């Protein structure tokens, strides 16, 4: 697709194209690029860098998950500690699943990126550039806030929390690790093996939090871009009769054809985004119910035990997870609301000043807008604010059941 849209014009119609592209993609490139997920067209040895990064990150995840699972099964007898470690293990497995899905979907991600690049390449009017920049800023801000919460909580959990409590096994103090290891692996307490294991655990944590923040950032990037394109279509419809912001379209028929062409393009782009995100969103939502429930329970336990550092850490993690789910639901709601406005605008313009044959052209657009663009979690639940409310209510219901079961 890159060559296709570059052939349309030897020089980009957007003089700020490079700066705009860097502004739009910079954060997601940093987060997902470090994991080998962000698709980059390179040659030579650099083209294998993503494969190496994916392999190393999966090894780091397995290095933490397998010993932790063995510890839960064979070593840990306390039900409360098992519950805490189970939440950690479930979070790791969920992140690993999302990581594998994103790695498999790299060609689709590249296709969405090319869609975005093409739209920025073709920007002609200043008003269109302002609209696109506004929605790009919204997506960027959502990514920054979500990543800030997630990384801050991760740093506290991996660097501060393990060293704030005393660790003893058989009346012997042991050096703390982020993820517990199987008792048969006694060498993990000996230097320099301990330092290597600790660094591997931190690398695992970075992978987990980057996958979580990167998936939300990717959804925010593509969804807000689609909203920006829809807003441009709406502005075209509002100025249909005057003919403003139309390139070489002297009559209404050509203007309507250009609007329909842009609308079809947005719908196709949204379909590709749906293919990229539906499995990730399904895993995110199915795991978030349990993860939020467990984090709420951990906060209650630390409140009762007056563990302020643990309470602050789990509270920050809880806010991070809730905000990530909220981001997905918010952009889904925003996309549905914005795409449904097209039908409303088609009716509200002065269509009665057009000929009956020309006015009938809006019927199909109104019919398409009656089925707004949606992002779903595995085609099972649409992302919306009502879905976010259902996630919170379900997690609270599970929390009540869990407390009754443990007590």
Higher pLDDT, 405 or 34: 34
pLDDT, tens only, 366-385: 888 888 888 888 888 888 98
Model pLDDT, residue 250: 64
Burial 190-226 (b: 16+ CB within 10 A, else e): eeeebeebbebbbbbbbbbbbbbbbbbbbbbbbbbbb
- pLDDT-based confidence at residue 3 (cuts at 50, 70, 90): very low
Higher pLDDT, 401 or 45: 401
Model pLDDT, residue 10: 45
pLDDT at position 124 over 70: yes
Contacts of 211 (CB under 8 A, 6+ apart): 35, 95, 98, 99, 102
Give whole-number Cα distances, 296 to 156, 300, 302, 377, in Å.
18, 6, 10, 24
Model pLDDT, residue 260: 87
Cβ atoms of residues 64 and 204 within 8 Å:
yes
Q: 386, 24, 33: which is closest to 224 by C-alpha?
A: 24
pLDDT, tens only, 130-151: 999 999 999 999 999 989 988 9
pLDDT, tens only, 223-273: 999 999 999 999 888 887 776 666 655 678 888 888 888 889 999 999 999
pLDDT at position 343 over 50: yes
pLDDT at position 2 over 50: no
What does pLDDT average to over the chain? 84
Question: Looking at the whole model, is its pTM more than 0.85?
Answer: yes
Give whole-number Cα distances, 371 to 340, 349, 362, in Å.
7, 20, 15
- pLDDT-based confidence at residue 9 (cuts at 50, 70, 90): very low
Higher pLDDT, 388 or 245: 388
Token reading at 126? 């200043």
pLDDT at position 169 over 80: no
CA atoms in the 13 A half-sphere facing the CB of 323: 20
């Amino acid at each position: 697709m890159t060559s296709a849209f570059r052939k349309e014009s030897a020089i980009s119609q957007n003089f700020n194209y490079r700066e705009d592209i860097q502004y739009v993609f910079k954060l997601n490139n940093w987060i997902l690029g470090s994991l080998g997920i962000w698709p980059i067209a390179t040659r030579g040895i650099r083209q294998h860098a993503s494969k190496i990064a994916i392999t190393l990150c999966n090894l780091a995840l397995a290095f933490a998950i397998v010993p932790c699972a063995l510890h839960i099964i064979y070593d840990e007898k306390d039900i409360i500690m098992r519950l805490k470690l189970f939440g950690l293990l479930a979070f790791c497995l969920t992140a690993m699943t999302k990581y594998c899905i994103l790695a498999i979907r790299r060609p689709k991600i590249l296709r969405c990126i090319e869609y975005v690049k093409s739209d920025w390449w073709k920007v002609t009017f200043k008003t269109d550039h302002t609209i696109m920049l506004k929605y790009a800023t919204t997506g960027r801000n959502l990514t920054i806030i979500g990543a800030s919460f997630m990384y801050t909580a991760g740093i506290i959990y991996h660097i501060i929390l393990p060293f704030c409590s005393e660790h003893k096994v058989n009346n012997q103090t042991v050096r703390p690790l982020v993820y517990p290891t199987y008792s048969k692996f006694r060498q993990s307490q000996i230097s320099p093996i301990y330092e290597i294991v600790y660094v591997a655990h931190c690398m695992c944590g970075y992978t987990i939090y980057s996958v979580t923040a990167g998936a939300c950032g990717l959804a925010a990037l593509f969804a807000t871009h689609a909203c920006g394109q829809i807003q441009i279509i709406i502005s075209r419809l509002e100025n249909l009769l005057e003919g403003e912001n139309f390139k070489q379209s002297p009559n209404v028929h050509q203007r309507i054809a250009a609007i329909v062409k842009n609308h079809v393009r947005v719908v196709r782009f949204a379909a590709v985004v749906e293919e990229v995100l539906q499995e990730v969103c399904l895993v995110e939502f199915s795991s978030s119910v349990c993860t939020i429930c467990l984090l709420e329970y951990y906060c209650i336990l630390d409140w009762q035990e007056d563990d302020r550092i643990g309470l602050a850490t789990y509270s920050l993690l809880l806010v991070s997870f809730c905000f990530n789910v909220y981001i997905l639901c918010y952009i889904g709601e925003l996309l549905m609301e914005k795409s449904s406005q097209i039908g409303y605008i088609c009716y509200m313009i002065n269509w009665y000043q057009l000929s009956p044959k020309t006015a009938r052209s809006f019927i199909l657009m109104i019919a398409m807008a009656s089925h707004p663009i949606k992002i779903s979690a595995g085609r099972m639940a649409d992302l919306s604010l009502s879905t976010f409310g259902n996630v919170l209510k379900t997690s609270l219901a599970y929390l009540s059941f869990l407390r009754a079961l443990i007590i």
